[in-house]
A = this chain, B = another copy of it.
Amino acid sequence: MKTTWDTRYSKRIDFMKESPIRKLLKFTEMEDVISFAGGLPAPKIFPCQQFDEACSKVLKEKGSIALQYGTTGGYTPLREWIAENNPIGIKVSPDNIIITSGSQQSLDMLGRVFINEGDHILVESPTYLGALQAWNAYGASYIATKIDDDGLIPEEFENSARCGPKFAYVQPNYHNPTGVSLTLERRKRILEIADHYGIPLVEDDPYGQLNFDCEPIDSLLKLDSYYRNCPGNYCGDVIYLGTFSKVLAPGMRMAYVIAPLNVINKINLAKQGADLHSATFNQVVTYEMIKDGFIDEHVQLIRRVYAQRRDIMLDALEKFMPEGCTWTHPKGGLFIWAFLPETIDTTELLAYAEKEKVAFVPGIQFFPGNHAMINAMRLNFSNASPDSIVTGVKRLVAAYNAYLEEKGDH
């Protein structure tokens, strides 16, 4: 049905593209489909009982606060808790923190506050799709910067930095989509280069606490404090994006930004117009959930479960994937990044995978620039059960064979 509205869309609509992951969601929601596509946590270990207790306590004791409008900056006790207990171990004032409705909103707010049409943003290549989606709406361009098994390559970063991006966007830990982490040495080097060229950094860290078999590496934010001779104190050149989605539950949409006070004030202004504030109820309940240390204990459980699933997926890939395929070996997070032989187009492969009732995300979606790898795919290991992971990999191989066979026919 055509309406008067159809002739009236904004120009920025043309910049926006649908996420292929969101598109896949309908397919992956079908029964007996095994999905390696989304970045979904394992629902079996959602702390439902703890949430139930927290909701009940909050509604009995603080209902009139939790159900009411709140300040745009966020619930003060929650901001204070994050200031004191943030996973990066840095001293920061609650005034440097704003609560957002999930990290996607943090990215959107950064876009709104910083990006003019045509601005160049330095991003890893591949990078998190949601960041591209958020910033496309503001007409961003990207300086795609290569990464390898140790994360962002400093020489490449320096080349990109020379182009004068407005800021650089980095995921140092268990990077989405590749699962790789930036080494300590490279982190230090990246900070030096960023400082040299005057490029501020956005550090997106949704998975930092999900380290399986390694000690966590210091965040860029923390390393920056050493670099600037104020060890352990927030210096303001790195904006840090944290979230409770991966350590509690994504369905609560609770995340935060750590940023310089001036930037927080601008985000606050932007957020007033965007949604007034994030749900008070979710903030008060999140605070109730985490204030007595539950999160530490729960993160242990998540690590155990995800590490096992990663191992099972790596084993299955090793066992069943045909020759010529390679993949990353992440030490944490949610994703493995796999390469099929160079002639294979994973976007085409997906149609065959759908017939076999298994889903993944074609790698091409994560590339901001021209040098996309058509033979890459992102595999999520956190969501499917151990049994399903093995079956899913087998289905993937069946899809691959069917694809090859048909391709060979033409």
Contact = CB atoms under 8 A, between A and B. Distances in A.
Interface stretch (A111-119, A185-193, A301-309, A371-379): A111-119
Instruction: Please tell me how many copies of the chain the complex holds.
Output: 2
A3 interface: yes
A1 interface: yes
Given A3-B262, A116-B11, A273-B137, A22 B63 contact: no
A251 B67 contact: yes
A163 to B, nearest CB: 15
A10 B282 contact: no
Contact of A105 (B1, B8, B112, B274): B274
Contact of A101 (B60, B68, B275): B275
B252 A281 contact: yes
Interface in A1-53: 1-6, 8-13, 16-19, 22, 25-26, 38-41, 43-44, 46, 48-49, 51-52
A116 B137 CA distance: 12
A102 B278 CA distance: 9
A79 interface: no
Given A8-B167, A16-B273, A40-B69, 8 more contacts: A1-B236, A2-B262, A22-B272, A52-B56, A101-B278, A253-B275, A253-B280, A282-B282
Interface of A: 1-6, 8-13, 16-19, 22, 25-26, 38-41, 43-44, 46, 48-49, 51-52, 55-56, 59-60, 63-72, 101-102, 104-105, 108, 112-116, 119, 130, 133-134, 136-138, 166-167, 198-200, 235-237, 239, 249-253, 259-263, 266, 269-270, 272-282
Most buried by B among A72, A272, A278: A272
A200 B252 contact: no
A386 B78 CA distance: 33
17 contacts: A3-B235, A4-B199, A5-B200, A5-B236, A12-B116, A18-B269, A40-B68, A44-B64, A48-B63, A52-B59, A55-B59, A67-B251, A108-B274, A130-B273, A137-B274, A251-B280, A253-B279
